[in-house]
Chains A and B, each alone.
Chain A
Amino acid sequence: QQQVKQSPQSLIVQKGGIPIINCAYENTAFDYFPWYQQFPGKGPALLIAIRPDVSEKKEGRFTISFNKSAKQFSLHIMDSQPGDSATYFCAASMGSGGGADGLTFGKGTHLIIQP
């Protein structure tokens, strides 16, 4: 049973557009929601993370929107650039009450920003 559902699987956006990647979760005990960015040949790297006590968090051109009642969160990339082309993963985990088994990941979104 997949606990974090991510969509779309792939996305092509023109330079300057705003790609949006969505994730939905089922476990209401999740309270930490990071996004990872992965370039070819590299491991995933933390991009931005949010806790459910806020509805939005911005870091540079990247914004996470969080809807606790709908159990959904999304990543927006403002003024997207070809260098943002990568695979993006959403993830979720429980806090101190959870186990040591790391994060539950979505299946990833392959994003291409066309020049």
Chain B
Amino acid sequence: DAGITQSPRHKVTETGTPVTLRCHQTENHRYMYWYRQDPGHGLRLIHYSYGVKDTDKGEVSDGYSVSRSKTEDFLLTLESATSSQTSVYFCATRRDRAHSPLHFGNGTRLTVT
């Protein structure tokens, strides 16, 4: 949807290792988001970007960092993965800030052992 590709789709990693998830979009949308989805918690915002090199924290940003060096790419990094970061991660884009829907990728399932 909206040309959003997330990679990898699945990843298993060990506690304490760094992990980077990638989101690539082809729609030239200005706004990009990282959410995590967990049972009983729904979708929670981790970080978002409102332009190249412009990012801000969301609701659950501790332990995560992001970077956006190009309009089309938004990276999410777990500096030192913990078991509590086992989750499904979704990238989303939005054309405008007002009254504009989010378009989601198909997610990355991350397991931290």
Residues of A in contact with B (beta carbons under 8 Å apart): 6, 31-32, 34, 36, 41-46, 49, 51, 89, 93-96, 98-103, 105-108
Q: Contact at B97–A96, with CB atoms within 8 Å?
A: yes
How many residue pairs link A and B with beta carbons under 8 A? The number is 68
A41-B106, A43-B105, A43-B107 as given contacts; A95 in contact with B45, CB under 8 Å: no
Q: Given A101-B45, A101-B48, A101-B58, check contact A43 B1 (CB 8 Å).
A: yes
- Taking CB atoms, residues of chain A closer than 8 Å to B94 are 102
- B98 surroundings in chain A (CB, below 8 A): 32, 94-96, 98
Question: What 12 additional pairs, Cβ within 8 angstroms, besides A31-B99, A44-B102?
Answer: A34-B101, A46-B103, A49-B101, A95-B98, A99-B97, A101-B45, A102-B33, A102-B45, A102-B102, A103-B102, A106-B42, A107-B41
By DSSP majority rule, is chain A's interface helix, strand, loop, or mixed? loop
**B90 at interface by CB-CB < 8 Å:** yes
Shortest Cβ distance from B58 into A: residue: A101
Chain B residues lying within 8 Å of A108, measured Cβ to Cβ, are 42-43
> Quick one: closest A residue to B57, CB to CB?
A101
Residues 55-108 (chain B) with a chain A CB within 8 angstroms? 56, 58, 90, 92, 94, 97-99, 101-107
- Contact check, A100 vs B107: say whether CB atoms are below 8 A apart: no
Residue of A41, A49, A51, A103 contacting most chain B CB atoms (<10 Å): A103
Bound Cα distance A93, B98 (Å): 8
Is the pair A105, B43 in contact by a Cβ cutoff of 8 Å?
yes
Given the complex of chains A and B, what is the CA–CA distance between A44 and B92 in angstroms? 10
| Contact in complex: A89, B48 (CB < 8 Å) | no
- Complex contact B1–A45 (CB within 8 A): yes
A-side contacts of B31, CB under 8 Å: 100, 102
- CB pair A100–B90 under 8 Å, yes or no, is no
Given the complex, which residues of A lie within 8 Å of B1, measured CB to CB? 43, 45
> In the complex, how many angstroms separate the beta carbon of B3 from the nearest chain A beta carbon?
13
Name B44's closest neighbour in chain A (CB-CB): A105
B100 to nearest A CB, angstroms?
8
